[in-house]
Structures are given as structure tokens and as C-alpha cells.
């Protein structure tokens, strides 16, 4: 979402006493992503890495610069990025999650009139430090690092086991791995702005309900990864892989529950504790 130039003009005026040289900042193509120019939610610079977001903005005359992100660091998935251009120009602002890699997001890419701009940036990736690089058709380049401190517990995924069973087939001949498990699972993306890509259920720990004792881990046959748009839900069915050796002794007649492990295409993981199942055995 692009914030109106008029909406940020007041911020531009408050920067009237700021000064900078006219040299463009570093390219941002090399080096580790560490250190940030720290700002509060009101966009006041409060410390940190002074080599980021160069040159500093001027207003008389206005220069071209990537100004700052605020807040930086941010505890959630949202921050705002500000830049200004001294003349009409084509502007690209790209996001990188590690050095010497392709961009993971494009925040801005268009021909623009001279003036000040703000971009509301919703980061749907993992927590960590990202590098924002600004390029213009006239040859200007600058960069700044932005830190997202979102924790994995904030992953907006709701998991619900709609139906399932876990048992052991002990007749007529006990196979090397007699344990069967079948689950029907609803996955719901609770975020109203970020999609979840490449979602998979990979495995589950099996635990006794009466004392939380870990019996072992089962793995599921792979299924195509699931993509969930914001607020979208989908239902998947997974079945346990038949192993070539016994993974644990079947707890016949006991109640068990599963710690279902999921991961997405960004490498984030999530553990869902299921309801209890009666572990049945057929003889």
C-alpha cells in the first residue's frame, strides 16, 4: 500500500534541519546483514548503525535518498519505509534476506514524480534482518537493513484435526511396522494480509495421554505442498508411512495424542497437539 505524498509532507518538514552529503549510499550488494538504524514508531532515529540509509535526507534543496524504516526493529510483521526523489525518475525498491541472493520481495517499482513517499511494508517471511535496496533509472543506489523480531509462535496458522485414527494391525502375521495412522486435518490461515506457502505435514510424535510419555515418531506419506491465501482454509488427508522396522510397541487400549509437526516453504515450523485417540489393536 502506498502512502500519499501529501500524508508524509509533514514528516518531510520536520526533517528540515537534517543534513547529509550528496553522495549516494553503498550499494548493499555485499556484506552480512547485521546492524540497523534504529527508529521508534514516530520515525525518530534513536541509535544503531549510522552507515545505513545514506545519504541523509535534505529539504533545501530536496535530495534523492532512502530515508528510513520505522519502527526499526519491529515486533510484528508491519513497518513503514520512506524515500524521496529530487526529480521525476523510475524507482525500484527490492528486499533481500541474505547477501548475494535474488530479491525475496519488490516493495516499489514504477515511474514516479519528484517528492516524498511512504510504503507500508508487511513482511510475510521469517524473523530476522532484511536488506532493502533502492535503485533509480538515473543511477542512484542506497540501502538499509530492517529487523523483524516476530517469533514463530506468531505464525498465524490454526490447525484442527477433524477425524483420525491410530492403531496396530496384529493379524494374522505381525508386520515389521504394524502401526497405521490416518488423519483428516483442517488448516486455516488466520492472517488477513499474509499468505502461507508450501505448507506440509511431515511427522508426528505419539505420546501417552496418561503421563505424556513419548512412544515414538511417525512419518506421513508426502503430499503436494499447500498454499493458503489470507484467511483461507483447506483440508488435507495424510497417512502414515509403513516403516521397515518397528518404531515402538503398540500401546493397545491406551489413549494417546499426537504432536503434529508442520512446516512451510520459508522453513518455519509449527507443532499442533491433537485431541486424544484410543489406540486400537486388531488380533
The 10s digit of each residue's pLDDT in 81-115 is 999 999 999 999 999 988 888 898 899 999 999 99
Q: Which residue has the higher pLDDT, 53 or 155?
A: 53
| Residues 193 and 207 placed together within one structural domain of the fold | yes
DSSP type of residue 172: S
Number of domains in the chain: 2
Residue-wise pLDDT for 111-143, tens only, equals: 999 999 999 998 877 788 999 999 999 999 999
- Give the Cβ contact number of residue 17 at 10 Å: 7
| Residues 123 and 251 placed together within one structural domain of the fold | no
107 neighbors 121 (Cβ within 8 angstroms)? yes
Closest by CA position to 31, among listed 124, 83, 101: 101
Bond into 172 cis (ω within 30): yes
CATH of the domain at 98: 2.60.40.1930
**H/E element, 263:** strand 255-263
Predicted model pTM: 0.62
Residue-wise pLDDT for 180-223, tens only, equals: 999 999 999 988 777 888 999 999 999 999 999 999 999 999 99
Using alpha carbons, list the distances in angstroms from residue 25 to 47, 55, 151, 247.
18, 6, 31, 58
| Residues 23 and 139 placed together within one structural domain of the fold | yes
275 neighbors 160 (Cβ within 8 angstroms)? no
38-67 mean pLDDT: 92
In angstroms, rounded to a whole number, what is the distance separating the alpha carbons of residues 38 and 23? 22
Q: Which residues pair with 181 in a beta bridge?
A: 166
3-state helix, strand, coil in the chain (%, to 5): 5, 50, 45
| Residues 142 and 159 placed together within one structural domain of the fold | no
| Residues 163 and 222 placed together within one structural domain of the fold | yes
Its sign, for the CA torsion 82, 85, 90, 92, is negative
Kind of pairing between the strands at 233-239 and 269-273: unpaired
- Where a domain ends, among 150, 179, 204? 150
| Residues 64 and 82 placed together within one structural domain of the fold | yes
Using DSSP, state whether 36 is helix, strand or coil. coil
Residue-wise pLDDT for 152-163, tens only, equals: 445 678 999 999
| Residues 50 and 127 placed together within one structural domain of the fold | yes
Closest by CA position to 279, among listed 172, 166, 194: 166
- Where a domain ends, among 134, 150, 166? 150
Going across the sheet that includes 2-3, the strands are 2-3, 115-122, 78-85, 65-70
Owning domain of residue 266: 155-282
C-alpha cell at 19: 543534513
Query: What pLDDT score does 152 carry?
Result: 47
Amino acid at each position: 500500500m502506498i502512502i500519499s505524498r501529501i500524508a508524509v509532507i509533514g514528516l518531510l518538514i520536520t526533517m528540515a534541519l537534517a543534513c547529509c552529503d550528496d553522495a549516494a549510499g553503498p550499494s548493499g550488494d555485499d556484506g552480512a546483514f547485521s546492524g540497523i538504524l534504529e527508529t521508534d514508531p514516530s520515525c525518530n532515529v534513536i541509535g544503531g548503525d549510522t552507515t545505513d540509509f545514506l545519504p541523509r535526507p535534505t529539504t533545501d534543496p530536496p535530495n534523492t535518498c532512502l530515508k528510513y524504516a520505522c519502527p526499526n526493529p519491529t515486533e510484528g510483521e508491519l513497518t513503514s519505509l520512506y524515500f524521496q526523489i529530487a526529480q521525476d525518475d523510475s524507482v525500484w525498491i527490492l528486499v533481500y534476506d541474505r547477501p548475494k541472493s535474488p530479491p525475496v520481495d519488490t516493495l516499489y517499482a514504477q515511474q514516479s514524480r519528484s517528492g516524498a513517499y511512504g510504503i507500508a511494508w508487511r513482511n510475510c517471511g521469517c524473523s530476522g534482518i532484511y536488506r532493502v535496496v533502492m535503485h533509480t533509472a538515473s543511477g542512484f543506489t542506497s540501502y538499509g537493513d530492517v529487523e523483524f523480531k516476530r517469533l514463530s509462535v506468531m505464525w498465524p496458522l490454526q490447525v484442527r484435526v477433524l477425524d483420525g485414527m491410530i492403531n496396530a494391525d496384529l493379524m494374522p502375521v505381525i508386520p515389521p511396522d504394524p502401526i497405521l495412522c490416518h488423519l483428516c486435518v483442517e488448516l486455516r490461515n488466520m492472517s488477513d494480509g499474509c499468505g502461507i506457502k508450501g505448507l506440509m505435514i511431515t511427522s508426528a510424535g505419539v505420546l501417552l495421554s496418561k503421563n505424556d510419555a513419548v512412544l515414538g515418531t511417525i512419518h506421513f506419506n508426502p503430499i503436494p505442498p499447500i498454499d493458503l491465501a489470507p484467511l483461507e482454509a483447506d483440508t488435507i488427508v495424510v497417512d502414515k508411512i509403513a516403516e521397515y522396522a518397528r518404531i515402538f510397541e503398540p500401546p493397545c487400549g491406551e489413549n494417546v495424542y499426537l504432536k503434529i509437526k508442520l512446516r512451510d516453504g520459508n522453513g518455519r515450523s509449527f507443532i499442533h497437539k491433537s485431541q486424544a485417540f484410543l489406540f486400537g489393536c486388531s488380533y
